[in-house]
A and B are shown apart, each in its own frame.
Chain A
Amino acid sequence: MELGCTHSPCQINAGSVCIRFMQRGLDSETKKQLEEEEKKIISEEHWYLDLPELKEKESFIIEERSFMPCEDLLYGRMSFKGFNPEIEKLMIQMNSRYKKEEIEADDKMEADVSDEEMARRYESLVGTIGKKFLKKRDRHELQDEDEDENSNLRPSNVKKMFLKPQD
């Protein structure tokens, strides 16, 4: 007798998939099915209004129960003729809060310095501050340039790099 295993191609049937191998909860599919069944049960018992959908109208009425914003009332604590200096300070503070909103609409202040003067000042300013960030070598060059007008200008692009000695 030959010991031979003849394996027929394994046919996976649906039943074997349902074998619970290391599964603690329900499968996602079975979950969905259960939910749908539950919904069906609920919706049959549920009562609903058989009316067309009513849209809630946007109301343009805002109800405000306090008088304070209506009449712009002042702060309720006041002191006169220096009776209570702290309260007098408070009065100025609180009442200026109302007036701050009015002052926002004021015009721009007139400039003390004209635009031309500003441009002139900026021209020289850029130069002076630019000098600050130059390296020492460049600063040296600048100085020489300023002093000799007649001498030939050195090509400033040539940086002093290490020259390899020829053999």
Chain B
Amino acid sequence: AYWVDSQQKRYVPVKGDPIIGIVTAKAGDIFKVDVGGSEQASLSYLAFEGATKRNRPNVQVGDLVYGQFIVANKDMEPEMVCIDSSGRANGMGIIGHEGLLFKVSLGLIRKLLAPNCEIIQELGQLYPFEIVLGMNGRIWVKAKTVQQTLIVANILEACEHMTSEQRKQALAKLSES
């Protein structure tokens, strides 16, 4: 297989990609979600685990959702869902209210999600934290204190331009303090 690797910041919706979206509007039965693409994606309220017409999910404007695209081509408005093909959530759905959302380039996301990524493993040794990575360049981090959250976010943003040695030095300094 061949693929073209490029450095870009602008995301183009692709079917099956897991992404983090921000709910911008509620229009009847669907939510409008901003995914960082040219158009907003639509998310049906039934596309959550255990959602029925009577049991609607508690989604408000401004919430963060982690889901994947089921329709994404240049001719149609992208559609996303927060369940997988068997109807289970598998970690998708509304992301909690705390934590920090920030944007990075798409290339970094792919680097971080690579099977043998050292950055994530090293960070994982530092503090307990939780992280969600969206293929649209958005990362959400939550740690125990605000300071730790900011530290993790800064490292992730900076490690795009650092070599692995610089990164290890920075992490060593942090683990001392």
Mind listing 20 A-B residue pairs with CB under 8 Å?
Answer: A65-B12, A66-B16, A67-B14, A67-B135, A68-B16, A70-B1, A71-B110, A71-B113, A72-B115, A73-B110, A74-B113, A75-B91, A76-B132, A76-B133, A78-B133, A80-B125, A81-B127, A82-B128, A83-B142, A87-B91
Please classify how large the interface on chain A is, using the bins under 10, 10 to 19, 20 to 34, 35 or more: 20 to 34
Please give, as numbers and ranges, the residues of chain B lying within 8 Å of A81 by CB-CB distance: 124, 127-129
Interface set of B (CB-CB < 8 Å, partner A): 1, 3, 12, 14-18, 66, 90-91, 110, 113-115, 117, 120, 123-125, 127-135, 142-144
Chain A residues 95-140 with CB under 8 Å of chain B are none
Q: Is A84 an interface residue (CB 8 A)?
A: yes
| Residue in A closest to B133 when the chains form the complex, CB atoms | A76
Q: Give the total number of A-B pairs whose CB atoms are below 8 A apart.
A: 83
Would A70 and B3 count as touching, CB distance under 8 A?
A: yes
Please give, as numbers and ranges, the residues of chain A lying within 8 Å of B124 by CB-CB distance: 78, 80-81
Q: Is A77 an interface residue (CB 8 A)?
A: yes
- Minimum Cβ distance to chain B for residue A50 (Å): 34
Q: Which 6 A-B pairs have the closest CB atoms?
A: A81-B128, A80-B124, A73-B113, A83-B128, A76-B133, A77-B91
Would A73 and B114 count as touching, CB distance under 8 A?
A: yes
Q: Is A94 an interface residue (CB 8 A)?
A: yes
Please give, as numbers and ranges, the residues of chain B lying within 8 Å of A66 by CB-CB distance: 14-17
Would B66 and A76 count as touching, CB distance under 8 A?
A: yes
Would A78 and B130 count as touching, CB distance under 8 A?
A: yes
Please give, as numbers and ranges, the residues of chain A lying within 8 Å of B132 by CB-CB distance: 76-78
Would A67 and B130 count as touching, CB distance under 8 A?
A: no
| Known contacts A67-B3, A90-B90, A74 near B115 by CB under 8 Å | yes
| Known contacts A66-B16, A67-B110, A71-B114, A76 near B135 by CB under 8 Å | yes
Please give, as numbers and ranges, the residues of chain B lying within 8 Å of A70 by CB-CB distance: 1, 3
| Known contacts A73-B110, A73-B114, A90-B91, A80 near B123 by CB under 8 Å | yes
Please give, as numbers and ranges, the residues of chain A lying within 8 Å of B144 by CB-CB distance: 83
- Minimum Cβ distance to chain B for residue A76 (Å): 4
Please give, as numbers and ranges, the residues of chain B lying within 8 Å of A87 by CB-CB distance: 91, 130
- Minimum Cβ distance to chain B for residue A2 (Å): 92
| Residue in B closest to A62 when the chains form the complex, CB atoms | B1
Would A79 and B110 count as touching, CB distance under 8 A?
A: no
| Residue in A closest to B2 when the chains form the complex, CB atoms | A70
| Residue in A closest to B123 when the chains form the complex, CB atoms | A80
Would A78 and B128 count as touching, CB distance under 8 A?
A: no
Query: What is the bound-complex CA distance between A66 and B136, given in angstroms?
Result: 11
Please give, as numbers and ranges, the residues of chain B lying within 8 Å of A65 by CB-CB distance: 12, 14-15
Would B130 and A76 count as touching, CB distance under 8 A?
A: no
Would B14 and A83 count as touching, CB distance under 8 A?
A: no
Query: What is the bound-complex CA distance between A77 and B135, given in angstroms?
Result: 11
Query: What is the bound-complex CA distance between A66 and B4, given in angstroms?
Result: 11
